[in-house]
Amino acid sequence: MHELRELYQEVIIEHGSNPRHFYKLECPSCTGHGYNPLCGDQITLDLKLENDIITHMGFQGQGCAISIASASLMCESLTGKSIIDAQNAFELFHSVLTADAPADDRLGKLTVLTGVREFPARVKCATLAWHTLQNALE
Ligand code: ZN
C-alpha cells in the first residue's frame, strides 16, 4: 500500500511537470475560468463540443503540481465523453474527495488524486479543474 501511494505521487508529479492537453484551442465552443485563492492556482479551460460530446479539451494556467496534474488527468479522461458522463464523473470525483465516499473503480486513472483528501487544504487544488469545467459548461 505504501508503494502504491508513492506510485500515485509519481503520476501526480509527472502530470504536474508534463501536463497533457496543455494548450489553447483554436475555436473553442466554450471556455471556463477557475481560481483557487487558497493556493493561487489559476486555470483557463477550453472545450470543443459536437452535439453532446466533448471532442477536444485544452487548458492553460499556472498552479501547484496537484492542480495542474488534476487538469491534465481530467482532460485525458473526459475527452471523447458526453457532457452527461463528464457531469457524472465530476460528482463521483467530488464525492470521493470531499464526502469520504469510498474510492471507486469508475474513477479509473483519476484514482491517483484521491489521496489528496487526507489534506483538506489541497482538495480545492484537485477539484479546481472540475469546477472550471462546470464554469465552462454553464
Ligand atoms: Zn494548488
Q: What is the pLDDT of residue 6?
A: 74
Domain CATH for 125: 3.90.1010.10
Whole-number Å distance, alpha carbon 41 to ligand 1 midpoint, is: 5
Task: Report how far residue 138's alpha carbon sits from residue 136's, in angstroms, rounded to the nearest whole number.
Answer: 6
Please give the mean pLDDT across all residues of the chain: 92
Whole-number Å distance, alpha carbon 52 to ligand 1 midpoint, is: 30
Q: What is the pLDDT of residue 63?
A: 96
Q: What is the pLDDT of residue 4?
A: 66
Whole-number Å distance, alpha carbon 51 to ligand 1 midpoint, is: 33
Q: What is the pLDDT of residue 93?
A: 93
* Mean pLDDT, residues 27-38: 97
Task: Report how far residue 14's alpha carbon sits from residue 9's, in angstroms, rounded to the nearest whole number.
Answer: 8
- Which structural domain range is residue 48 located in? 2-137
- List pLDDT tens digits, range 78-103: 999 999 999 999 999 999 998 777 87
Task: Report how far residue 138's alpha carbon sits from residue 128's, in angstroms, rounded to the nearest whole number.
Answer: 15
Q: How many domains does the chain have?
A: 1
Whole-number Å distance, alpha carbon 42 to ligand 1 midpoint, is: 9
Task: Report how far residue 50's alpha carbon sits from residue 57's, in angstroms, rounded to the nearest whole number.
Answer: 12
Whole-number Å distance, alpha carbon 112 to ligand 1 midpoint, is: 16
Strand segments (E) across the chain? 30-36, 41-50, 53-62
Counts of helices then strands in the chain (DSSP H, E): 4, 3
Whole-number Å distance, alpha carbon 22 to ligand 1 midpoint, is: 17
Q: In this structure, what C-alpha cell is assigned to residue 57?
A: 479539451
Whole-number Å distance, alpha carbon 110 to ligand 1 midpoint, is: 17
